[in-house]
Structure 1
Amino acid sequence: MNTNEIRNKFLTFFEKKSHVIWPSDSLVPQNDPTILFTGAGMNQFKDMFLGKGNLPFKRATTCQKCLRTGDIDNVGKTASHHTFFEMLGNFSFGDYFKKETIEWAWEFLVQELGMPENRLSVSVYKDDQESYEIWDRHIGIPRSNIYQYGEKDNFWPANAPLLGPNGPCGPCSEIFFDQGEKVGCGTKGCDPACDCDRFVEIWNLVFTQYNRTEGGKLVPLPHKNVDTGMGLERMARVMQGVQTNFDIDIFRPIIKSLEEIAHIKYNGQSEHAILMRRIADHVKACVFCISDGVLPGNEGRGYVERRLLRRAIRDGTQLGIKDCFLYKLVPIVGNVMQEYYPDIKQRRENIARVVKSEEEKFHETLELGTARLKEWMDTLQKNQQKVLSGQEAFKLYDTYGFPLDMTELILSEKGFTVDKDGFENELKKQRIQARTSSQMTGQVFDTGPLSRIKELSKGTEFLGYQADACEAKIIALIQGDQLVEVVTVGEEVTVVLDRTPFYGESGGQVGDTGILELNGNQVKITDTKKNNDFILHIGKVIKGDIRKEGLVHAKIDIQRRNSIRKNHSATHILHFALRKVIGQHAEQSGSLVTQDRLRFDFHHFSGLTQEEIIRIEDIVNEMILKNEPVVVKELSIHEARNAGAIALFGEKYGDLVRMVAIGDFSKELCGGTHVNHSGEIGLLRIIGESSVAAGIRRIEAMTGTATLNRDREKERLVNEMCSALNTSEDKLIAKTQDLLSELKNLQKELHKVKQKEISGKVDSFVENAKVVSGVKIITRKLEDATADDLRKTADRLMKSAKDMAIILGTAQNGRVTIIAALSPALVKCGLHAGNISKEIAKVVGGGGGGRPDMAQAGGQWPEKLDEALSFATELLREKILAGVSLSAE
């Protein structure tokens, strides 16, 4: 039974049990600061578990995309660990409980999947007698196949009774498949608690029946919930009778492609097999991350994704793959996952471009790492040392992507070793940090003011598509993290209403501003945010006071909203024009729509030419001038896709979506506000185009009166320039070119004069040099000099004496530049210009470094340059007198 069949059977089975099949949440959870990535099926139903949700059902079933990196070091090494995986689940929100859950689980496994009963075992929490008796008396499992474990293994969250966190929790019952005595440790008493892989955990049934309070007290919940999770890959492994998750149908094609790329046969538990499994896992994780809008970066989710990609690239180098290869696996992932995730295949070219760009960057980084390692080996050799520090080895690993064995191999070729203990200590610190950042960062369930508001209301009704003002009831007033009853004049407040015309920031469109008013009392709203089903009005009381439960007249700034609407509709037309001019791959990656301008990010791997920009502008304005109608329809997601609507990267869509169509050329799924006809936009001008990330470009543009005001401002500047240069507009370019040419000639003459002046000072510098142990020390400040002037002066000075130490400094435009130069004899004695310049730069608030014979440094405190030069004189004097060998860092 292939993976798609298992997935479909599961969802269909529970649909017949009156469950709603609900779409997977994005890997990027919305409005949930407690997790970096979606890691479980229950994440999107937190409010439903607390009885505060708005979803119109009490039973749901999902196949949830999940990403976890807490056990990343086990990926590829074990049969079951993944970073990305799919979690099948069925959920009850205060509806059915243990008996039905256990009955249906058994029915699905035995009757639907045909699994042999004698191969199934279960575990229950040691104090959960109710579950034990259901398995024993009702299902009829032999007691020898029912295991009772403690809160570490059979409670959710693990160890919750003893350690917390506070909040909903409960016992769980796990179902295991026995692969037989020939698999695993072979011990006679082996049971599901053993880590030997004989027993595969295939389903976890969580019964949320308690609320843990302070002191570890478990208070029964008034509404009991069910949350189950079945790892799809593990179930496929069992159903397909293979030894590991990586041998199932959705991994075999990826590994087969890897075999062809690496020219290596995949073979069980070999080191090559571990690397190939890890590559297959990581590339799949990254493909789904990119599809959900996460791009490689240096922080947060982007950093996790970048590390996964780089681990896979490093593994490829260990397999002997020298060129970019991961991007070639993207279409394979798209093919094997297309039935349930068609967007992956549709966007495979864009995803592959992002992956390849990251690969190319990382290969450059590896070259830099090789150069850095060579510098460190040179230093070790010079200092007659043999061991590279663990910190330096870890920097090669963390920054440049060198696995430890690669570093050891390169070092061994030159007779060096590495401090492995030091490396492991640094690696342990990083693992703790990574595990913390990839898991929950707060309570499992929200405990802030919004959580309490959800007990009072199911959300805010948005009226802003049809109205710009309405009467509304105040549900809550929030100050900081507290709910308050009254807010007085001058105080800031967040107001939650039962209905509103204010648009909460989402989909790239900024939130509305305006006024809330009641009997002369006023709150000026400066921003509006959206949190799940609530719209938050953020502002300040400017007259009187505002009380909870009061009625207010809510009115948006309609002029500002109209400008925002024009820019939002313009982004849709711009999207159409981009795809027409540079190709269908130019999909939206992000946007920002304000009243002043619009920003549109799209997939493309090179800057737009001026001709392309003009062509895009022309198409957009042509569509605007046609005054096409803007039609908004609510459709099923299936109907919208059949109509040709574009769904955006990283967005989650339910069964019912809002399609915005402009004429017959632009159709997008969008929740924002728009004009009624394209002609209302007026005019669009592109004012900027740039790169924002690997394979992502950004266009900035203006519409309507903002465009007119910008053109008038540019016309004013041109007139001022003409007046200042005493010329006419048609001769402005020629006049400017003449002046620049004249300026260039004057600069050349000035440079000659300056060089002559400096040359004249060289002899006096040498004559007035301080002499220490036969070495001439020159520390001088040169006025109005460039770094090039300092270097040339140092070169001339070096030719005038055999043993010389030179420090030259200058200050220009609020910055200090310092050049340090040493004669060959001093370098041979162990002095290092790079280290010396770095020490001196500290005095002027900077840093630097370079070669042993000449180095450059800089700083940001020009007023301390004289102090730095005095320090330089003493530093050189001490080093020369002491004869201490300075080693390069």
Structure 2
Amino acid sequence: MNQFKDMFLGKGNLNVKKAATCQKCLRTGDIDNVGKTASHHTFFEMLGNFSFGDYFKQKTIEWAWEFLIQELKISEERLSVSVYKDDHESYEIWEKHIHIPKSMIYRYDQKDNFWPANAPLLGPNGPCGPCSEIFFDQGEKIGCGQKECGPACDCDRFVEIWNLVFTEYDRKESGKLEPLPHQNVDTGMGLERMARVMQGVQTNFDIDIFRPIISSIEEITQVKYNGRVENAILMRRIADHIKACVFCISDGVLPGNEGRGYVERRLLRRAIRDGTQLGVKDSFLYKLVPIVSNVMQDYYPDIKQRRENIARIIKNEEEKFHETLEQGTRILEELMETLQKSKQKTLSGKEAFKLYDTYGFPLDMTEAILNEKGFVVDRNGFEDELKKQRLQARTASQMTGQVFDTGPLSKIKDISKGSRFLGYNQNTCQGKIIAIIQNNELVDVAIAGSEITVILDQTPFYGESGGQIGDTGILESDGTLLQVTDTRRNDEFTLHTGKVIKGELKAGIVVEAKVDVQRRNDIRKNHSATHILHYALRRVIGQHAEQAGSLVAHDRIRFDFHHFSALTKEEITRIEDLVNEKILENVPISAKELTIQQAKNAGALALFGEKYGELVRMLSMGDFSKELCGGTHVDNSGEIGLFRIVGESSVAAGIRRIEAVTGMSALKREREKEGIIQEVCEILNTTEGKLVTKAQDILHELKGLQKELSRVKQKELSSKIHTLIENAKEVSGVKIITRKLEDATVDDLRKTADLLIKSAENVAIILGAIQDGRVTIIAAMSPNLVKRGFHAGNISKEVAKLVGGGGGGRPDMSQAGGQWVEKLDDALHFATELLSKKLLQTGNS
């Protein structure tokens, strides 16, 4: 219902009074129930019908019943209903008009039959109302088997298939329920639940869009779905989570550490762990992407078009998580070692939560590993940390406990339907000030020096969206001047943010709105260039190279696209050449408003992750590019001027980034590079034509000097070996060499350790050096010591802790490091003591 929030509040712009929808939904509030119950999902499709002051309770109930009985042919005897305990009108409609027996009508309190649940008592504020639910009875053989079983029982016998919400109140801060301007309807029917009823199966996971996925999981894991209940739960959860992630990625949400990306990453990691419990050691989720695609492609063709990309992204995420699990396992082993040394048996809740939150370790996995070694977890401490995180997430969320806006924008919607954008055709216009916002409050007047946001009834200013930054400029009127420093969009309103330079700005007056034309023109050139770049990428490296994000500024372009390897120099050159060829062709650029279907039929490219309304703006460039775009553009490609790529890098798994400049910015960069080249020529006393040869000669000479320096160092090291062995401490027949080498590189340390190993039969070595403000430590053990259980990797890790670092490696040789250079001598002394102690413990065996 979120997309209809303004319609419920009587502030919407839609020219309809009723609607029907099918919505993709992602919800993780009940995630712990997914797989365990017959009905819970993280991803599901919700069917709904809506009324905005048109039909209400009687028609809603009549039509719902008609659809179920006459269209879907569901037996009346299998259906029962519930109503809010104080909603006598709905009860009467069900009993008197639909003729449902009283024994099949249930009255429940606001927890079960009010939306949002418990809204009258607990909130949140905003539109709400009583609801009436329709249930399907699967029969006495399903569920608890008790005679008094009803829809309120959670035994799965009764399936809630349709919720009819009568949104007629606006809850205020005091808890008062005020009537909305008109009575609304918002219904929700879970597609998966209804399919379950229609297909006559017991769970949502047995319907036609889940069975192929679960069958594939059976093949991959070689485990039967209808075998152990525990395995079935894991398989259901994997099927649900992979479906959720495929749709998320298809909609442009990539796994990450924040927001929606973090939710997606957690879902993938849960599914990976479930696979591990089913015996799968390698990446496998990506193999399910084509299955999900085949099942859903009729209604979601975008998934089929992007399935290779989606599979690559998921595989990459799986591989990264397996590495993370290995790291987490090592950390848990270190924690257990610390517990053992301190003679403790309980791992703190904070440490267990860190493993869970950072490394993806579920609590039960941590507990299982600990229990094997005789340790336990502080579960209460873990739960406390989990509660803190959830509280932080709620605080950081944009949802502030209000169902809809209650700030200044909500009040503005009472008096205006939005700002009209005139910027496609003009850079100036007159506009009436609808509202002035200062410090998040509506004000009537803003004086000089005030930093404010102004909303006009019409404007030439483009508000930031679609990757294009907002315009800057001025608003002026009779001695009053506002310097606009940024422009943004919020729903239908354009927000001009800036500072009053002189005079007083008053709500209701007419101002002259003037965009900074030079800056706007530079943005137009860059935006048109991104469309040509998109075309060139798909031509050069493949159709999979779809846009994944962009920044269109006045001085640069940043363009993110799907690709799994760095572009070669040849590819970059070809892309750059193709873009400039299209610019030189000076093709016309035009925009046309169409329905979304008309635009797709015309071949327009809908961008990855973008959301579009019914009417869209299709931008055409010659005969080679058609994209849906609401930004500002040049009229002909030749206006862009020179295009140069200045950078190419990775920004996420499977996402590359190109940075580029056009026009005068490109010319400026070329001149800067030319200046640098001239400066280098002067330093090296050569000309531009001979610069490469001169640089090669210098490098050749440098390599010769480095080779000579290495030879001298090697000779010097060889002369030190005898001294190091002679001065070594001997314990149980083993020589212990722990020394700091001045001005030594890592390579010097390794070579010294190799020479010592070759020069002495029984020797334990810890060498240290300081380079570039950091400590480097090399540990090496002779073969005899390795056979006796000495491990260079473990020893170097212990020593490195004293210099604020870590490391590890092979039993015979390893490298570690740290940042506390002043502690190196202490660390080497500790190394001597550690090795001595270990040798005395193992004896001469």
1:426 aligns with 2:382: yes
One-letter amino acid of the counterpart of residue 151, structure 2: P
Structure 2 match to 1:170: 129
**Cα distance between partner residues in 2 of 1:683 and 1:204:** 59
1:816 aligns with 2:774: yes
Structure 1 match to 2:801: 838
1:328 aligns with 2:287: yes
Change (3 A) 1:534 1:781: farther
1:159 aligns with 2:159: no
Structure 2 match to 1:514: 473
Structure 2 match to 1:302: 261
One-letter amino acid of the counterpart of residue 818, structure 2: G
Structure 1 match to 2:198: 239
Q: Does the residue aligned with 1:214 lie in a helix, a strand or coil?
A: coil
Identify the match of residue 555 of structure 1 among 489, 499, 514: 514
**Cα distance between partner residues in 2 of 1:826 and 1:247:** 54
Measured after TM superposition, the shift of residue 817 of structure 1 is: 2.1
Q: Does the residue aligned with 2:406 lie in a helix, a strand or coil?
A: coil
**Cα distance between partner residues in 2 of 1:324 and 1:448:** 47
Measured after TM superposition, the shift of residue 109 of structure 1 is: 1.4
Q: Would the aligned equivalents of 2:49 and 2:187 in 1 still touch at CA under 8 Å?
A: yes
Measured after TM superposition, the shift of residue 242 of structure 1 is: 0.5
Q: Does the residue aligned with 1:87 lie in a helix, a strand or coil?
A: strand
1:73 aligns with 2:36: no
**Cα distance between partner residues in 1 of 2:740 and 2:595:** 74
Measured after TM superposition, the shift of residue 776 of structure 1 is: 13
Q: CA RMSD in A?
A: 4.0
Identify the match of residue 58 of structure 2 among 93, 96, 99: 99
**Cα distance between partner residues in 1 of 2:495 and 2:316:** 39
Structure 2 match to 1:7: none
Measured after TM superposition, the shift of residue 223 of structure 1 is: 2.4
Measured after TM superposition, the shift of residue 217 of structure 1 is: 2.5
Structure 2 match to 1:618: 577
1:658 aligns with 2:617: yes
**Cα distance between partner residues in 2 of 1:591 and 1:648:** 11
Once the two structures are superposed, residues 662-721 of structure 1 have per-residue CA deviations (whole angstroms, 9 ceiling, x without a partner) of 111111111111111111112212222222222222222222121111111111111111
Identity of matched residues, %: 69
**Cα distance between partner residues in 1 of 2:832 and 2:221:** 59
**Cα distance between partner residues in 2 of 1:703 and 1:523:** 30
Change (3 A) 1:791 1:261: closer
Structure 1 match to 2:6: 47
Q: Would the aligned equivalents of 2:738 and 2:831 in 1 still touch at CA under 8 Å?
A: no
Identify the match of residue 245 of structure 2 among 286, 290, 295: 286
Once the two structures are superposed, residues 526-551 of structure 1 have per-residue CA deviations (whole angstroms, 9 ceiling, x without a partner) of 11111111111111222223222221
Change (3 A) 1:199 1:440: farther
One-letter amino acid of the counterpart of residue 740, structure 1: L
Once the two structures are superposed, residues 816-840 of structure 1 have per-residue CA deviations (whole angstroms, 9 ceiling, x without a partner) of 3264879989999xx9653453244
Q: Would the aligned equivalents of 2:530 and 2:559 in 1 still touch at CA under 8 Å?
A: yes
Q: Would the aligned equivalents of 1:791 and 1:819 in 2 still touch at CA under 8 Å?
A: no
Change (3 A) 1:777 1:265: closer
Once the two structures are superposed, residues 620-674 of structure 1 have per-residue CA deviations (whole angstroms, 9 ceiling, x without a partner) of 2221111111121111222111111111111122222111111111111111111
Q: Would the aligned equivalents of 2:348 and 2:377 in 1 still touch at CA under 8 Å?
A: no
Structure 2 match to 1:848: 806
Measured after TM superposition, the shift of residue 469 of structure 1 is: 0.4
**Cα distance between partner residues in 1 of 2:313 and 2:80:** 45
Change (3 A) 1:267 1:698: same
**Cα distance between partner residues in 2 of 1:258 and 1:644:** 37
Measured after TM superposition, the shift of residue 850 of structure 1 is: 4.5
One-letter amino acid of the counterpart of residue 426, structure 1: F
Structure 2 match to 1:31: none
Structure 2 match to 1:479: 438
Measured after TM superposition, the shift of residue 260 of structure 1 is: 3.1
Change (3 A) 1:360 1:771: closer
Change (3 A) 1:258 1:681: same
Change (3 A) 1:302 1:765: same
Q: Would the aligned equivalents of 2:753 and 2:765 in 1 still touch at CA under 8 Å?
A: no
Identify the match of residue 588 of structure 2 among 619, 629, 645: 629
**Cα distance between partner residues in 1 of 2:460 and 2:413:** 20
**Cα distance between partner residues in 1 of 2:756 and 2:284:** 53
**Cα distance between partner residues in 2 of 1:656 and 1:803:** 78
* TM-score, normalised with respect to structure 2: 0.88
Structure 2 match to 1:702: 661
Q: Does the residue aligned with 1:133 lie in a helix, a strand or coil?
A: helix
**Cα distance between partner residues in 1 of 2:530 and 2:728:** 67
Change (3 A) 1:563 1:848: same
**Cα distance between partner residues in 2 of 1:877 and 1:839:** 13
One-letter amino acid of the counterpart of residue 654, structure 1: G
**Cα distance between partner residues in 1 of 2:374 and 2:638:** 69
1:442 aligns with 2:400: yes
Q: Would the aligned equivalents of 2:349 and 2:383 in 1 still touch at CA under 8 Å?
A: no
Structure 2 match to 1:488: 447
Once the two structures are superposed, residues 164-207 of structure 1 have per-residue CA deviations (whole angstroms, 9 ceiling, x without a partner) of 22222222111111111111000000011100001001111112
Structure 2 match to 1:858: 818
**Cα distance between partner residues in 2 of 1:603 and 1:691:** 10
- Unaligned 5+ runs, structure 1: 1-41, 842-846
- For residues 174-573 of structure 1, the aligned pairs below 5 Å read 174-267=133-226, 270-368=229-327, 399-400=358-359, 416-417=372-373, 419=375, 421-422=377-378, 426=382, 429-430=385-386, 433=389, 437=393, 441-443=399-401, 444-573=403-532
Change (3 A) 1:792 1:494: farther
Measured after TM superposition, the shift of residue 782 of structure 1 is: 6.7
Q: Which moved more, 1:396-405 or 1:345-354?
A: 396-405
Structure 2 match to 1:29: none
Q: Would the aligned equivalents of 1:581 and 1:616 in 2 still touch at CA under 8 Å?
A: yes
Q: Would the aligned equivalents of 1:71 and 1:81 in 2 still touch at CA under 8 Å?
A: yes
Structure 2 match to 1:38: none
Measured after TM superposition, the shift of residue 434 of structure 1 is: 5.9
**Cα distance between partner residues in 2 of 1:882 and 1:321:** 43
One-letter amino acid of the counterpart of residue 770, structure 2: T
Q: Does the residue aligned with 1:732 lie in a helix, a strand or coil?
A: helix
Identify the match of residue 730 of structure 1 among 689, 694, 698: 689
Once the two structures are superposed, residues 453-473 of structure 1 have per-residue CA deviations (whole angstroms, 9 ceiling, x without a partner) of 212211110000011000011
**Cα distance between partner residues in 2 of 1:369 and 1:680:** 55
Identify the match of residue 87 of structure 2 among 128, 137, 144: 128
Q: Does the residue aligned with 1:96 lie in a helix, a strand or coil?
A: coil
One-letter amino acid of the counterpart of residue 33, structure 2: N
Change (3 A) 1:589 1:716: same
Once the two structures are superposed, residues 225-261 of structure 1 have per-residue CA deviations (whole angstroms, 9 ceiling, x without a partner) of 2211111100110111100001112112222333333
* TM-score, normalised with respect to structure 1: 0.84
- Unaligned 5+ runs, structure 2: none
Q: Does the residue aligned with 2:647 lie in a helix, a strand or coil?
A: strand
One-letter amino acid of the counterpart of residue 492, structure 2: D
**Cα distance between partner residues in 1 of 2:74 and 2:398:** 35
Structure 2 match to 1:144: 103
**Cα distance between partner residues in 2 of 1:229 and 1:418:** 50
Once the two structures are superposed, residues 814-870 of structure 1 have per-residue CA deviations (whole angstroms, 9 ceiling, x without a partner) of x33264879989999xx96534532443xxxxx4354799764433x8xxx55x468
Measured after TM superposition, the shift of residue 318 of structure 1 is: 3.1
Measured after TM superposition, the shift of residue 588 of structure 1 is: 1.4
Measured after TM superposition, the shift of residue 380 of structure 1 is: 8.3
Q: Would the aligned equivalents of 2:775 and 2:824 in 1 still touch at CA under 8 Å?
A: no
Change (3 A) 1:583 1:808: closer
Q: Which moved more, 1:758-767 or 1:141-150?
A: 758-767
Change (3 A) 1:421 1:152: farther
Change (3 A) 1:564 1:734: same
**Cα distance between partner residues in 1 of 2:755 and 2:342:** 31
**Cα distance between partner residues in 1 of 2:216 and 2:738:** 63
**Cα distance between partner residues in 1 of 2:4 and 2:90:** 24
One-letter amino acid of the counterpart of residue 182, structure 2: H
Q: Would the aligned equivalents of 1:777 and 1:873 in 2 still touch at CA under 8 Å?
A: no
